[in-house]
Structure formats: C-alpha cells, structure tokens
A = this chain, B = another copy of it.
Amino acid sequence: MKSFASDNNAGVHPGIMAALDACNEEHVVGYGDDIYTKKAIKTFKSFFNDQTDVFFVYGGTGANVLAISSVCSSFESVICAQSAHINVDECGAPEKFSGAKLVDIPVPNGKLTPELIKPSLHGFDFEHHSQPKLISISQPTELGTVYTLDELKALRQLADAYNMYIHIDGARIANAAVYLGCSFKEMTIDCGIDVCSFGGNKNGLMFGEALLFFNKKISQKFKYIRKQAMQLHSKMRYISAQFDEYLQSALWKKNALHSNKMAGLLLTEIQKFSQIKVTQKVETNAIFVTLPKDVISKIQKESFFYDWNEHIGEVRWMTAFDTSEQDIENFVNILRKYLK
C-alpha cells in the first residue's frame, strides 16, 4: 500500500525512466552544452515564452535559494508566508546563502495578500532596515491552497508600487495549474511573476528542478550563482531529458490531475467521519485535518503520515501521481478502525 505521507515518497514515473534511458547514449559535453538540454530549454520556452531564461538545478531548496540570491542583495529582505517552505523547511538555507532577511507573515490559509504584506513594507531608504525586495509565494501553498490569477495580479500591483519582485515556489506547480485550468504562462508571465522554481520531483521526476526567469534584469549573472551554489550538475542531460519528456508528453498534467482527483476522492470519504475536521480548502493534492490526538499515532503506525500541528492534532495527508483508488480504500479502512 502506498502512503499518504508525501508526494515525494512516490517513485519515478515510467515515462521519465524511459526518457532517461533514451538520452543515455554516447558522449555529450557536460554542464548543459548538450542537445538534450538545448531541447528541454526550447520546450520550456514554448510553454512560457521566448524571453524566458531556463536553468536547471539539483532540487527545490536550491531553486528557491538561488531565486532569492538572484534578486536580493544581502541587505534586502524577502516577504513570505510564515508557513512558507523557505521559512520553515530549509534549515535556514535562504539566509545562509543569500544573507537576506526573511520577513515572515502569519497567514491562515498559506496565501499572502497585499493587505497582509503592507504593514511590512516600511523603512525604505533607511539603512538600519533590511530593504523589502522580493515577495516569495508558493503556488500551490504548503497548505494545498491555490492563488487565483486575480490574487496573483493583485500581488504584482503591490510589487510594482514598491519596486519589488515576485518569486513563485512551484514545487507542485502542475497541481496548481490543473486546479486553475490555466496554462503555466497564464499563471506566471501573464500575472507579472519574475522568477519561478518549477518543480517536478513531487509529480514523477527523479531529481532536478528548473529555475525560470521571466525578467532578464535578474538572470544575467545567474550561471555564476548556480555554480557557486553547488547546483550545477555535470551530466546535465539527465535532468534536461526528464523535464523535456515531462512537458512534451503532458505528463505534468496527467499526473497532477490524477493526484488532485485522488485527494478529492479521499476528501469525500473522510467527510463521512464526524471526528475528522478538514482545516484547509482542498484545492490540490493535500488534505489537512484534525483528528482526536489519541488515535493519530495508532493510525500512523499502520500507514505513516506527518503531524502538522501537534498542539491541535492536525495532520497532513497527501496523494501522489500513483495513488490508486484501492490505496484510498485501504487507508479509509484503517481510519474506520480507529474512528467512528
């Protein structure tokens, strides 16, 4: 039985394995100057636009930290949600590498709004104060919620007013796109996003992440930042080939639709339990619920998942591209053993 712990517990999609095999021929120059990487970049441009600068890095933390480092000088600051991955799950990597300050804002549903951000936008031109320069949001958020296009555009308007940039942590960006039913371009470039961490590991890839710059002001020197940040892979083709397949074959969409759908299915089932309270809107592939505290560990022993907030007995259940209806049925059966 597959777990509901995290979508990164899933394996690699067979289509990706095949793409890795397919590129495993002959010698090619290292570090990205190869046909597979050129092709993948071209494919990315076709999904975004021709002005998009595409760089591959090793993983999500690297992509996020390097996005910050590309935009911010060390004396500048990043506005983010208190629940943001960059704020709570990267062991201080953003601060260590960029030197910039993270200004984290409590948000009930994972989403920043202009109203929530504004009180933190002060001290401009005052050298004692880290200068606000970047708004970093997660799409979908760490709570599974999704910014609407209008919400993204409202952030852009705010950023414009303060000469700031916007970064999307898109670790699960495909799940957001299929939820909104829009293209990647509509959700990024058309909303005025400047830079996007485009992830795939949680949706069937093996390793690697793409960092996409939609604003050439911040990408000019990026190749040096990537190398110095230990994020330049020598045998680059094995990242590129995955992303090319992922986009070309619409695997991103198929897998994201599936995991979102499975979350919907699980949601339907758990709504039948009076003791389970859903705490966040289920818009992608994560479900947050509270359970009686005494049964949480019992259920975890049979099928592991993570505590989210131990104080209130909140846990997270995630579906993946390979979650089956049978997996859900099995899990619900376990729930049934311990809950009325």
Contacts and interface: CB of A to CB of B under 8 A. Distances in A.
B127 A226 contact: yes
B12 A30 contact: no
Interface in A191-237: 201-202, 206-207, 221, 223-235
Contacts of A100: 92, 95
A95 B62 CA distance: 18
B29 A130 contact: no
Contacts of A304: 29
Contacts of A92: 74-77, 99-101, 130, 228
Contact of A9 (B2, B3, B27, B225): B27
Interface string A108-145: 00000000000100100001111100000000000000
Interface in A294-319: 304, 310-311
Given A201-B235, A233-B59, A128 B227 contact: yes
B93 A224 contact: no
Interface in A1-21: 2-3, 5-6, 8-12, 17, 20-21
A186 interface: no
Contacts of A223: 127
A76 B127 CA distance: 25
Nearest to A104: B104
A201 to B, nearest CB: 6
- Residue among A31, A75, A238 with the most chain B CB within 10 A? A75
A231 B230 contact: yes
Nearest to A14: B24
Contacts of A221: 73, 75
Nearest to A126: B91
A5 B17 contact: no
Nearest to A87: B101
Contacts of A96: 74-75, 97, 99, 228-229
B30 A224 contact: no
A9 B8 CA distance: 29
Interface residues of A, number: 76
Nearest to A304: B29
Given A92-B74, A100-B95, A127 B238 contact: no
Contact of A227 (B3, B26, B93): B93
Given A230-B59, A234-B8, A225 B75 contact: yes
A202 B233 CA distance: 12
A325 to B, nearest CB: 16
A59 B30 CA distance: 13
Contact of A75 (B29, B130, B227): B227
A107 interface: no
A88 interface: yes
A207 B233 contact: yes
A131 B100 CA distance: 19
Contacts of A322: 27
B224 A127 contact: yes
A129 to B, nearest CB: 6
A2 B28 CA distance: 8
Given A11-B235, A75-B225, 5 more contacts: A6-B30, A10-B27, A88-B129, A93-B230, A201-B234
